[in-house]
């Protein structure tokens, strides 16, 4: 089914939806431009904690899609805010990369690699993960029995252009869970409702009047299903048509599109003079 009307607000995943690697996907720029021209709120969400919102602002600007920092939220933001709300005095051990550590330090949290002082172990997407980090997490959780485990996001891998990918946060979480026998008590990324609340902050709109747009069934689309939003799966990232065909009726996205600018109803395509080949001209 194709959209026939515009929604009151749009929430977009980034990698695999708006861009892939260092290139905007076909029609993404004209879609965002047209929604903004009509005064329709646009927000961007990412489960990737290896960049902070400032870095996303810089990347989108480089790609020709200038965006205010207030329109971007990712798991660096949601993890920091969740900890401020629920564990403001905690000492943290971050199995993650510098943007997450920097944000937590700037928010006033104490970071430590001393297992006797750690209250919370944060599992994240960490391309410097090694045995010594696993040992610290193990000691804080299992040996000293004082730390809890949370994760920034549940993604198994991060997709790359050309079909490759890198192990993501779920791999780090699984390693810590396997050796300690504990489970993560909080997920701060999609499909958690925490991400949606962050995305819609400051907007007086009902989630039911919004649409979540992304390329992943278990994060983007599941968050929409869990929160009563319309959902749009774009086939420009991880998910294939066969994956969609295998879903039961209760897990089907509202829309399945081969390109993101098809969110604009056909009657508006005709009014705007859009075609599938002239997307660079708008």
Domain extent listing, the chain: 76-187, 222-254
User: DSSP secondary structure string, 146-195?
Assistant: --EEEES---SEEE-GGG-EEE-HHHHHHHHHHHH----S-B-STTSHHH
Q: Is 77 helix (H, G, I), strand (E, B) or coil?
A: helix
Kindly give the interhelix angle for 169-180 and 131-138, rounded to the nearest 10 degrees: 50
Give catalytic status of residue 13 as yes or no: yes
* Partner residues linked to 148 by β-bridges: 120
To the question of whether residue 250 is assigned a binding role by annotation, the answer is no
Burial of 14 per CB tally in 10 Å (0-12, 13-18, 19+): buried
Task: Report d(CA 80, CA 214) in Å as an integer.
Answer: 23
> What are the tens digits of pLDDT across the range 156-207?
988 777 778 899 999 999 999 999 999 999 999 999 999 999 999 999 899 9
CA angle 203, 205, 211 (to 5 degrees): 105
Residue 23 pLDDT exceeds 80 = yes
Does 3.40.50.1000 match the CATH number of domain 76-187?
yes
The pair of structure tokens assigned to 257 is 């599109």
Annotated ligand binding at 48? The verdict is: yes
Report the pLDDT value the prediction gives residue 164, as an integer from 0 to 100. Answer: 81
155 is annotated as contributing to ligand binding: no
215 marked as part of a ligand binding site: yes
pLDDT value at residue 173? 98
The confidence score (pLDDT) of residue 222 equals 95
Region 112-127: what's the mean pLDDT? Answer: 98
Q: Give the C-alpha separation, 140 to 136, whole Å.
A: 6
| Contacts of 174 by beta carbon, 8 Å cutoff, 6+ apart | none
| Averaged pLDDT, 248-258 | 94
DSSP state of 63: T
* Token output for 174: 């699984």
Exactly one of 15, 52, 126, 261 is catalytic; name it. 15
Q: Which helix (H) or strand (E) holds 244?
A: helix 241-245
* Mean pLDDT calculated for residue range 4-8: 96
Q: Between the CA of residue 167 and those of 4, 31, 173, 217, what are the distances in Å?
A: 38, 31, 11, 18
Predicted TM-score of the model (pTM): 0.91
Task: Please name the residue that has the structure tokens 């290896």.
Answer: 50
**pLDDT for position 238:** 86
Q: Is the pLDDT of residue 65 over 80?
A: yes
Angstrom distances, CA of residue 82 to CA of 30, 71, 173, 176: 34, 19, 18, 21
The pLDDT, as a whole number, for residue 171 is 98
From CA 122, how far away is CA 105, in angstroms rounded? 14
Q: Residue 52, annotated ligand binder?
A: no
Chain segment 134-152, per-residue pLDDT in tens: 999 999 999 999 999 999 9
Among 28-42, 94-108, 241-255, name the one with the lowest average pLDDT.
241-255
Quick one: how far is CA 255 from the chain centroid?
19
Q: Contact, 219 vs 196, CB < 8 A?
A: no
Does the annotation mark 204 as catalytic?
no
Mean pLDDT of the chain: 95
Residues 241, 33: Cα–Cα separation, whole Å: 28
Catalytic residue selected from 13, 139, 220, 261: 13
Q: What is the pLDDT of residue 159?
A: 77
Find out whether 190 is annotated in a ligand binding site: yes
Give the per-residue pLDDT at 160.
Answer: 76
Contact residues for 168 (Cβ-Cβ < 8 A; gap 6+)? 125, 153, 155, 156, 157, 158
């Amino acid at each position: 089914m194709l959209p026939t009307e515009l929604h009151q607000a749009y929430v977009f995943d980034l990698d695999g939806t708006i861009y892939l690697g260092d290139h905007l996907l076909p029609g993404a720029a004209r879609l965002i431009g047209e929604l903004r021209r009509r005064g329709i709120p646009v927000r961007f969400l990412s489960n990737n904690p290896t960049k902070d919102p400032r870095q996303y602002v810089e990347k989108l600007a480089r790609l020709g899609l200038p965006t205010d920092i207030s329109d971007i939220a990712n798991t660096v933001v949601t993890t920091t805010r969740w900890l401020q709300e629920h564990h403001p005095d905690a000492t943290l051990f971050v199995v993650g990369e510098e943007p997450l550590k920097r944000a937590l330090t700037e928010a006033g949290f104490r970071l430590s690699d001393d297992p006797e002082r750690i209250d919370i172990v944060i599992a994240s997407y960490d391309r410097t993960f090694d045995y010594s980090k696993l040992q610290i997490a193990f000691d804080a959780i299992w040996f000293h029995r004082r730390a809890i485990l949370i994760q920034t996001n549940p993604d198994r891998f991060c997709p790359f252009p050309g079909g490759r990918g890198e192990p993501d946060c779920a791999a780090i979480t699984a390693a810590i869970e396997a050796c300690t026998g504990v489970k993560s008590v909080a997920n701060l990324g999609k499909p958690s409702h925490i991400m949606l609340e962050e995305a819609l902050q400051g907007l007086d709109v009902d989630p039911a009047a919004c649409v979540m747009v992304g390329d992943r069934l278990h994060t983007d689309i599941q968050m929409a299903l869990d929160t009563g939003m319309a959902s749009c799966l774009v086939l420009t990232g991880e998910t294939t048509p066969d994956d969609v065909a295998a879903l039961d009726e209760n897990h089907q996205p509202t829309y399945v599109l081969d390109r993101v600018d098809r969110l604009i109803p056909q009657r508006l395509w005709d009014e705007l003079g859009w075609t599938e080949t002239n997307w660079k001209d708008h």
